[in-house]
Amino acid sequence: MDNITLMWLCLGAASFCSFMIGRTVSRREVAAIIESTVDTLIAENMLRTKKVNGQLEILSWNED
């Protein structure tokens, strides 16, 4: 295998690893942002909730 081919293989492997790391970090951040947003909406009484079996359940706009 010549040096050019080896260089392209290394570049491809490094690019793939960088992509997978970025994708994993991004997914964790999205989940944290969604959780924070829902918690804030509940705290500001913009979402109605009730406790069911010790967990909060978000109510529909027309539920009591």
- Asked if residue 25 belongs to a domain, the reply is yes
**Structural domain count of the chain:** 1
- Asked if residue 32 belongs to a domain, the reply is yes
Rounded to 5°, the CA angle 9-15-17 comes to 105
pLDDT of residue 61: 80
- Asked if residue 64 belongs to a domain, the reply is no
- Asked if residue 63 belongs to a domain, the reply is no
pLDDT tens per residue, the chain (64 residues)? Answer: 789 999 999 999 999 999 999 999 888 888 889 999 999 999 998 888 898 998 989 888 877 6
Which one, of 36, 33, 42, lies nearest residue 50 by Cα? 42
